[in-house]
Amino acid sequence: MPKKSSTGLLILSLLGMLAGAWGVIEALIYGLHATALGSYTPWGLGVILYLFFLGLSAGGFLVTILVYIFGQKQYDALSPLAAWLVLVTEICAVVPINLDLGHWERTYQFVTSPNFLSPMTWMFVFFGALFVIYALKALAYIRGKETWLRPLSLLSLPVGLMFYGINGYFFAILVGYTIWNSPLTPLMFIVAALLSGGALLTFLTWVFHRNTDLVRGLGRAVLLLLFIYVGLEALNYFVGYRGNRVEATKALNLMLFGSNWGVFWFMHVMIGTLIPIFLLLKYGQDGRITAWSCLLIALAFMAVRIDFVLPAQYVGMLQGLDKAFVHERLQLSYDPNLGEWLVGVFVTSLGLFGFVIGPKVAPALFAKKEGEAHV
């Protein structure tokens, strides 16, 4: 990365963290009171940010799949960068989700009193396991412990599959939300994670390696994943509408034609799907365009997470419940407040900071391998 850009981004990330710190401090002091959440829309921007960043972390998973399942050894050159990607994005994911707890100071209860029937417990276990695996991988690259790499990579395959699948399973078992309660949800989460994480990794490959061959190859993988994801998504909507359950059609209508229709049509369909597909199909040989198209996919994936989390909750569990006892915390709507957005600014800036300082604190993870093809 050019020094000028690096310094500019560093300043931007520091300013972002400084501004966002207000939201973080407010959340730490006032807890749930500082949010615009309610009991009938209990999950908001904290959960959305968590899902967004955990999806981005799957770039590491994609590289391991390409190398160890598809035998594409050339992508192994990206494994160190992918390890850093996982560490940074997992840290970005853990901040908003921990602040989203009513009692974040009791997080230790996950260890002292785990309920192994709960998908959240397993999410915690696999989240931690994945973090440890990639931290060890990063350490192995830094210390030159090559013998650690293969077992760790192989271990990351089932752990990654379980982790990204369990995040979908987490929602899929919630019977009250028809559009979450589908066997397709865990599968969609795995594909979504690979897609958004792969897209971010493609961009980072361009930024740190300037390797057109690898970027082109990853771009093709991302395009394929995008087609698969859009297909699954269309299937979900089609079944939802044709199944004609009131709760499902209501949630889908809210997503596609409700007050936040722009999130779906503009952010997801236009910026995150149609434009990148066009660019990747037409200019897929161009490393720069491929990288920037993938960045569009990765960033616009926020829209997918918003549309997954919110509209489903806007359909009440029982008709008329929100009118039975009226209070602003008992509404079927949610608009994040400034403090919540500032937490978003903080973690996004933290992620940017992580990638800007990465080459300085862990140069071994960003170094190009000898013999690696360049532009």
Partner 1 sequence: MTRILAQEDPLIRMQRDLKRALSGDPENVRWIMIIDRAKCVGCNACTIACVAENKLPPGVVYRPVISEEIGEYPNVHLRFMPRPCMQCQNAPCIKVCPVKATYKDPQGVTVVDYNKCIGCRYCLTACPYGARTSDFGEWYTAKTPDLPGALVSREGAAKGYELHPAAEYGRTWPERGRGKSPIGNARKCHFCRHRLVVGMLPACVTSCIGRATYFGNGRDPDALVRELLGTPRVTRLKEEFNTQPSVYYLM
Please state the separation of Cα 369 from the chain's center in Å.
28
| Cβ contact 61:160 at 8 Å | yes
Q: Name which of 342, 263, 358, 314 is nearest 49 in CA terms.
A: 342
Residue placing its CB nearer to partner 1 in the complex, 69 or 117: 117
In the complex, what is the shortest distance from the CB of residue 248 to partner 1, in angstroms, rounded to a whole number?
14
Among the residue ranges 107-115, 182-190, 194-202, 227-235, the one whose residues contact partner 1 (CB under 8 A): 107-115
Residue from 7, 15, 33, 262 binding partner 1 (CB under 8 A):
33
| Cβ proximity to partner 1, 101 vs 149, nearer residue | 101
- Is residue 246 within the footprint of partner 1 (CB under 8 A)? no
Site string for partner 1, 144-183 (x = CB under 8 A): -----------------------------xxxxx------
| Nearby residues of 26 by Cβ (< 8 Å), 6 or more positions away | 34, 339, 342
Interior angle at CA 54, CA 286 and CA 65, nearest 5: 60
Least distance (Å) between residue 230 CB and partner 1: 27
Phi-psi map region of 53: left, alpha, beta (phi>0 left; psi -120 to 50 alpha): alpha
Q: How many of the chain's residues bind partner 1 (CB under 8 A)?
A: 49
Q: How far is the CB of 121 from partner 1 (least distance, A)?
A: 5
Pure H helices in the chain? 3-30, 45-56, 59-64, 79-99, 109-112, 119-143, 146-172, 184-209, 212-243, 246-257, 261-262, 275-283, 287-313, 321-324, 338-361, 363-366
Our CB check for partner 1 shows the closer of 317 and 338 to be 317
Least distance in angstroms from the C-beta of 337 to partner 1 = 12
- Of 9, 91, 114, 364, the one binding partner 1 by CB under 8 A: 114
Query: Is residue 117 involved in binding partner 1 (CB under 8 A)?
Result: yes
Q: Which is nearer to partner 1, 32 or 277 (CB)?
A: 32
CB of 160 to partner 1, least distance (A): 21
174 vs 373, which CB is nearer to partner 1? Answer: 174
Q: Which stretch binds partner 1 (CB under 8 A): 27-35, 77-85, 254-262, 283-291?
A: 27-35
Distance CA 361, CA 87 (A): 13
Q: Residue 339 to residues 29, 302, 304: CA-CA distances in angstroms?
A: 12, 18, 22
The answer to the question of residue 3 lying near partner 1 (CB under 8 A) is no
What does the radius of gyration of the chain's CA atoms come to, in whole angstroms? 21
Residue 65 or 312: which CB sits closer to partner 1?
312
Instruction: Give SS3 for 283.
Output: helix
CB 206 within 8 A of CB 291: yes
Which 309-348 positions form the footprint of partner 1 (CB under 8 A)?
313, 316-321, 323-325, 327-330
Among 5, 107, 259, 285, binds partner 1 (CB under 8 A): 107
User: What is the distance between the alpha carbons of residues 260 and 313, in angstroms, rounded to a whole number?
Assistant: 14
What is the C-alpha to C-alpha distance for residues 168 and 308, in angstroms, rounded to an integer? Answer: 11
Stretch binding partner 1 (CB under 8 A), from 33-41, 215-223, 235-243, 335-343: 33-41
Q: Which of residues 250-289 bind partner 1 (CB under 8 A)?
A: none
Contact 366, 41 (CB under 8 A): no
Residues that bind partner 1 (CB under 8 A): 29-33, 35, 37-40, 42-43, 100-104, 106-107, 109-110, 113-115, 117-121, 124, 173-177, 313, 316-321, 323-325, 327-330
